[in-house]
Each structure stands twice: as structure tokens, then as C-alpha cells.
Structure 1
Amino acid sequence: MTTQQKVPEPASQEVLIRVKNVALNFRDFAIATGKCPFPVKDNVLPCSDLSGEVVRVGNQVEDFAQGDKIIAPFDRKTLYSAMPDWHHSLGGCYDGVLQEYIAFPSSVLFKVPATSRLSFAQLLALVCTGTTAWNALYGNNPLKPGQAVLFLDTGGVSMTGPILAKAAGAVTIITSSSDDKLAQVQKRYGVDYTINYKSTPNWSQEVLKITNNHGADFILKNGGAGTIAQSIDAGSLPLVCEEKMPDVAALALSKGAIVRGIMVGSKQRLEDAARFVTYENLNVPVEKVFGFGREDVVSAFEYLVSGQHIGKVCIAAN
């Protein structure tokens, strides 16, 4: 269903944004189909990731001007530190960004540096996936040059993450069940090593082989519990005993591993990732951009769910 509303007027400390592009995450599909386990507003407008340009500013806004290119964080409340919950997420508890114009408090927006060469669609790879990957790599023990980072599968975080890690001097490894996808990510984004987990079911041993038995220093996994045991087994610290230990807590303890649940990240994490990508002039992955009509939006969701994509699936709002 589509609705028509008047273009909002920004309040004194708000910025009116012309939405240029919106990105889809699997969370958006889960919300649309009633499968999201987190709080969701009734009849919520979908999507959390937007890039756009400033149209008007409130009379107390000093840091933004008409024409500025902006992105907004996933969570409207968490400017610094870790997200405490999901209660302030766009497209969940707050109406999302799949609209042509939207007013935001200026305090939550990030003004994209004028030196950035990223398109509006590319900027979207920084909002959820980029912030999550940055949080994983720098939110606890910061990534160091020469360390090995393993990305499981070719979802959004696992596509933006290798670009950030490789630019920081890390060795990058990625898994997938598709040889074609693995060949594409290696060609497009220069991933150092690829593993097909379907043809190499004991892929943790392959990781150890690649890293000269050191193991991966960072392992990023998008949801699901099916690969946690092998993920920890592929880590860099040796197991204390050889017995199989399906208990995740026991596995983590035996390796001295830090297992972190990462809920995207704050505005500060988004800013850090965006500045790094701008400074390094990185090629951020975008798979396909759909139109804004109802049928186009449905097609975008269908394409997302098909799992064909490598990089972000976007919608051009303007």
C-alpha cells in the first residue's frame, strides 16, 4: 500500500531531507512478514537505511545547509556507546525511511564529507552493514594490520566487512556455498581467500591451513547458530582438549574467545566507518537499484529474499 502526505515542515532543530536512496536489509523482510522477534510498531513504514540531501533546515540548525549530502544511523537514540535495545530503530519502533521526504533531528544526522566520491546508493552500505562491520572490527579489541578476519557467507555485513578489513591491512577470508559468488567477490573486492563450505564441510580446518595453523583473529557471522561451533574452532587460540564440545560457552572458554552479540552500532560508529571509507576512497558494494513504484519495491524485496545479491539491494526514492 502507498500513501500520499504533505511534505513535512522541519521543526526548529530538525532537517528536512529529500530521500535519494533506501537500502533493504533482511530485517525489513522479516518485519513485513511478521517474523521479526523484536518490537515493531503497528503498520510501520519500512526500511531503516537512507541517504539523501538537505532541502530545508529549522531556524536553530547551524551544522547543515541546503544541498548537504547526509546519511542517518539505524537507531535514533544511540549517538555513542552500544545500543541498549531495539526500541528506537527506524523501520521497527519508529516509522522507516521508504518515503520521498522525511524530517529528522539534526543531532542524529551525519553530513557526508564533500570529498566523498560515494554515490547515494553506495552510502547506504555504511548505515547498517557498514556500522555493524565496523563495530565488530573496532568496537572491542581493535583490528590490527596482519590479523586474519573470517566472514561467513556473502550477506551485507560479510561484503562490506572485507572491504574495511582489507583496507586496514588484514588478511580476509570469506565463505559461501556458491563458487560463482566466491569468484565474484574475489574479483570485485579483492578478498584474499575463499572457501566453499558446501564442497568443504570441514571449513574450519581450511581456515587453519590458510592461516598457518594460527586461526582467524576475527570471525563475523550473520545470525543463526548452525556454524558457531566451527566458527570458534577456526579461531586463533588452541582448544584445551580434543573432545567435541557443542556447548558454545565451553567452546568460547576453551579458546579464550570473545563472543559478542552486535546490534548494529551508534552514530559515532557510523561516522567512523564513513570517514574511513571516504579517506581510503573504498569501493563499497551495491548490487542493484530498483525504482520507487509499488511493483518495483515488491521486486526489490523478492530479489533480496532470493539471495542472488552480492552487496546492497537499494531503492531510488528520487
Structure 2
Amino acid sequence: MSTPTTQTVYRLIGERTSIHNIQPSSEPIPTASKHELLIRIRAVALNYRDIAISSGLYPFYIKDNVIPCSDASGDVVSVGEGARGFEIGDRVVISFDVANLYGPQRDWTTGHGGPIDGMLRQYIAVPAAAVVKVPGGSEAPQSYSELASLVCAGLTAWNGLFGVQPLKPGQVALFQGTGGVSINGLLLAKAAGAKTIITSSSDEKLAYVQKKFGADHVINYKTTPDWASKALELTNGRGVDFVLENGGAGTIAQSIKSIAFGGVVSVIGFLAQAKQEEMPDVAALAISRGCIVRGVTIGPVQMLEDLVRFVGNKGLRLPVEKEFGFSRDDVVGAFEYLKSAQHVGKVCIKVD
């Protein structure tokens, strides 16, 4: 079947003040240039970053009338000259940052859905070097939405657990909240043989996560504000080996208090703010535990390849809570649902 010549594309039109400024248009389908792949996008996974960008809250540069969203999976429909290792029909995921092939991210200028156009469309041409093939192809158990969720949420969790000091079987990892990064991290840590602790302000969500995803321990941080002491109690005073820190200034003190000596606190979010006069002395806290406190900015293609291989080898089913369609009402509804924070796991859009 021949590829059509036009596609539906969603852009943030005009002022970035509301998710309701996302509007569809018909645009030409690009061609795969040398060393590029043309990919039919099949699913897009949403992140809090997409809400921040559409609402004018994102602190980095965003191009005008940007195509939002950074996380997608799909099928290769055309292979450009010199693009090795791919064939038409391959299932693939596309890296967040087309320039970050290995090592640390250098800047914020080449991430999809912000400084460059993103994934909320039907077709995209991208450098083959920024694409990872899914082992097993159509036989792999993961859906397109599950695969799309690996791009940011999955890779951020993987980087936090394996990026600088790899998690080992028998160690303990703590995850804040029940969003995509935390639930992906929980599954990855369990598959690697670690013990897991997850926090939330909702007993209902905690019970669900414990039953569905097998969290070893849960802590309600609203009823147990000093949740670090509870984490120490659960680890016989030793502390946890890894924390995926979602809160930022408002929770970093508890995270470091909960960490074992020499452990790793990966700072991935800034959802919990603190007044200036209540800012913790992170330097003193880090020295007190001899721990690593590091900022995680997703990860390179090389690391994404490791993650996709691990997920494939373990046959992991990834945490997609809800899928929306590709009509404008559905797209806006998906953003609104993510913003409501009702979800456990990932919110995705199926691109038809």
C-alpha cells in the first residue's frame, strides 16, 4: 500500500497559554533523506513536560507553533540512503534528543516537542542514529503505547537506576509518586531483583500499585510526613540504595535522609516546592550520607538501546493506564487527564 502524501499534524498555535491552543492541520508527509528513516507514528506517550510547554511553564526555549510531545513508537515505512540496520516494517522507538547518542545531554536545543518539532503527528523523518529497533518485532508483547512510554519515563527511570552506579539484586529502590517514571522504575527494579518502596498521598493508589505491580512496601507521605524514617525502619536502619526524586526542593531532604551511605538520589522532577527560608542544605545532607545527588535529563540513544533490550529480554508489560484517540477532542482530553493527576502509569494517544 502506498504512503499518502499528507498527514494530520497538531501544533501549539500562537501563545502557549493553554492545552486548548493545540490545533490540527493537514501538512505534507516528509521524505527520508540520506541517513534518515520515515516512520509512521503509532502511539505517543504524554509527560508533564508536555503540559508545561503547552501552558507556558517550561523554562527552556520552545520554537513557535511547535508540534508537541517527545515520546513515540511506530513502524519504519521508508529507509533513506545509508541508513543501516533498519528495514521497512521494523517496530521502533524514537529518542527524545536526536543529538544525544551517548554520554550526558549537552544542552536543551535538540529535544523533540520543544526546541524542535515533536511527535503529535502521523509521520516523521528522523536520523536513523536516533532510532532504536524493538527486538522481536511484531512478536514482542509490548503494545505501541507501552513502547512509546519507554522514551522518557522508562529511560529516565533506567538512567536513575543504572546510569551511574548500577542497581544490584537485593538492593532497595524508593520511588516517589505513581506517575510513569516511578511505575516504570518499580517494574525495572523488580525485574533486576531489587526490593521496592513507593510513596503517594493516596492509599487507594498505593493499594492498586502494590496489587498490580508488586511493590514490596508502600508509604503514604500525607499520613506519614517523615516518610524517610519509615523507609529506614523498613530497611532495618540501613536506608535505601536508590531514590528517584520527583519532588525537588520540597522532598530532597527526606530523600537524602532515607538513603543508605553511598547511595544514589536521582533528581528528576520539581513537583514539590519549598519556601526560600525552608530550603534544605543539600550539600550538608549529601555529605552526612556520603551519597550521590545527581540530576537526570532522560538519557542517550545508547542507554535507550540497553533499556529496550532489557524490557524485551524480560518480557515486561509496561504501565499504560489509559489510551486516547487522535481526534482533537481526544488529544485535548488526554492532556487534561494527565493534568488532573488521576493516572497511575502512563497516558498515551493512539495515532490512527
Q: TM-score, normalised by structure 2?
A: 0.87
Counterpart of 1:16 in structure 2 is: 38
Q: Secondary structure, in 3 states, of the residue corresponding to 1:299?
A: helix
Q: How does 1:227-266 map to 2 (within 5 A)?
A: 227-237=251-261, 246-266=280-300
Counterpart of 2:144 in structure 1 is: 120
Amino acid at match of 1:273: L
Counterpart of 2:201 in structure 1 is: 177
Counterpart of 1:285 in structure 2 is: 319
CA distance in 2, matches of 1:230, 1:287: 29
Q: CA deviation at 1:245?
A: 9.7
CA distance in 2, matches of 1:275, 1:60: 24
Q: CA deviation at 1:223?
A: 4.3
Paired residue for 1:208, among 229, 232, 241? 232
Q: Secondary structure, in 3 states, of the residue corresponding to 1:219?
A: strand
- Are residue 30 (structure 1) and residue 64 (structure 2) matched? no
Residue pair 2:249, 2:280 contacting (<8 A) in 1 also: no
CA distance in 2, matches of 1:249, 1:3: 50
Residue pair 2:239, 2:260 contacting (<8 A) in 1 also: yes
CA distance in 1, matches of 2:280, 2:162: 28
Q: How does 1:50-65 map to 2 (within 5 A)?
A: 50-65=72-87
- Are residue 74 (structure 1) and residue 88 (structure 2) matched? no
Amino acid at match of 2:330: D
CA distance in 1, matches of 2:39, 2:280: 49
Counterpart of 2:274 in structure 1 is: none
- Are residue 134 (structure 1) and residue 168 (structure 2) matched? no
Q: Secondary structure, in 3 states, of the residue corresponding to 2:45?
A: strand
Counterpart of 2:127 in structure 1 is: 105
CA distance in 1, matches of 2:299, 2:346: 18
- Which deviations, in whole Å up to 9, do the C-alpha atoms of 1:113-143 show, x marking residues without a partner? 1152111011012110111111111111111
Residue pair 1:23, 1:50 contacting (<8 A) in 2 also: yes
CA distance in 2, matches of 1:2, 1:18: 17
Q: CA deviation at 1:110?
A: 0.5
Q: CA deviation at 1:282?
A: 1.1
Q: Secondary structure, in 3 states, of the residue corresponding to 1:260?
A: strand
Q: CA deviation at 1:62?
A: 3.1
Q: 1:49 to 1:245 in 2, by over 3 A?
A: closer
Unpaired segments of 5 or more residues in structure 1?
239-243
CA distance in 2, matches of 1:203, 1:223: 13
Counterpart of 1:295 in structure 2 is: 329
Q: CA deviation at 1:246?
A: 3.0
Segment of structure 1 superposing worse, 217-226 or 67-76: 217-226
CA distance in 2, matches of 1:64, 1:266: 19
Paired residue for 2:347, among 308, 313, 317? 313
Identity of aligned residues (%): 55
Q: Secondary structure, in 3 states, of the residue corresponding to 2:294?
A: coil
- Are residue 46 (structure 1) and residue 62 (structure 2) matched? no
Q: Secondary structure, in 3 states, of the residue corresponding to 2:24?
A: coil
Q: TM-score, normalised by structure 1?
A: 0.96
Segment of structure 1 superposing worse, 257-266 or 56-65: 56-65
Q: 1:287 to 1:181 in 2, by over 3 A?
A: same
Segment of structure 1 superposing worse, 46-55 or 148-157: 148-157
- Give structure 1 regions of 4+ aligned residues with deviation exceeding 4 angstroms: none
CA RMSD of aligned residues (A): 1.4
Amino acid at match of 1:155: G
| Total equivalences in the alignment | 313
- Which deviations, in whole Å up to 9, do the C-alpha atoms of 1:226-248 show, x marking residues without a partner? 0111111111139xxxxx99311
- Which deviations, in whole Å up to 9, do the C-alpha atoms of 1:40-89 show, x marking residues without a partner? 11111100000000111113323111110000111110110111221110
CA distance in 1, matches of 2:105, 2:279: 31
Amino acid at match of 2:307: A
Amino acid at match of 1:57: V
Q: Which has the higher strand share?
A: 2
Residue pair 1:218, 1:235 contacting (<8 A) in 2 also: yes
Q: Secondary structure, in 3 states, of the residue corresponding to 2:26?
A: coil
CA distance in 2, matches of 1:64, 1:176: 42
Unpaired segments of 5 or more residues in structure 2?
1-22, 263-277
Residue pair 1:155, 1:222 contacting (<8 A) in 2 also: no
Residue pair 1:160, 1:285 contacting (<8 A) in 2 also: yes
- Which deviations, in whole Å up to 9, do the C-alpha atoms of 1:88-109 show, x marking residues without a partner? 1000111001000111111111
CA distance in 2, matches of 1:49, 1:266: 14
- Greater relative contact order, per chain length (Cα 8 Å cut-off, separation 6+): 1
CA distance in 1, matches of 2:170, 2:124: 43
Counterpart of 1:241 in structure 2 is: none
